[in-house]
């Protein structure tokens, strides 16, 4: 969830992660419902390949 921290803050990212875990759902689905971030931007932020490269997705 640290990929979303710079965009929505730690507390909101943690809340989304906890909700996704509790409901056995994908983080991206919960984040799409709970934020105003478009799905395409969430896909870029949460892309596993990009996450392994470090940095912040633009």
The structure's pTM equals: 0.82
User: Distance between CA atoms of 58 and 34, rounded to whole angstroms?
Assistant: 20
One digit per residue, the tens of pLDDT, for the chain of length 58 reads 678 999 999 999 999 999 999 999 999 999 999 999 999 999 999 988 877 886 665 6
DSSP state of 46: T
CATH tag for 5-51 (out of 3.10.450, 3.30.70, 1.10.40, 1.10.1200): 1.10.40
DSSP symbols for 30-53: HHHHHSS--HHHHHHHT-HHHHTT
Residue 20 and residue 42 in contact, taking contact as beta carbons nearer than 8 Å: no
The structural domains of the chain, with segments of one domain joined by +, span 5-51
């Amino acid at each position: 969830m640290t990929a979303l921290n710079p965009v929505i803050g730690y507390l909101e990212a943690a809340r989304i992660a906890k909700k996704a875990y509790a409901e056995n759902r994908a983080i991206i689905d919960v984040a799409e419902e709970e934020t105003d971030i478009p799905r395409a931007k969430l896909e870029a932020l949460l892309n596993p390949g990009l996450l392994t490269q470090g940095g912040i997705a633009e």
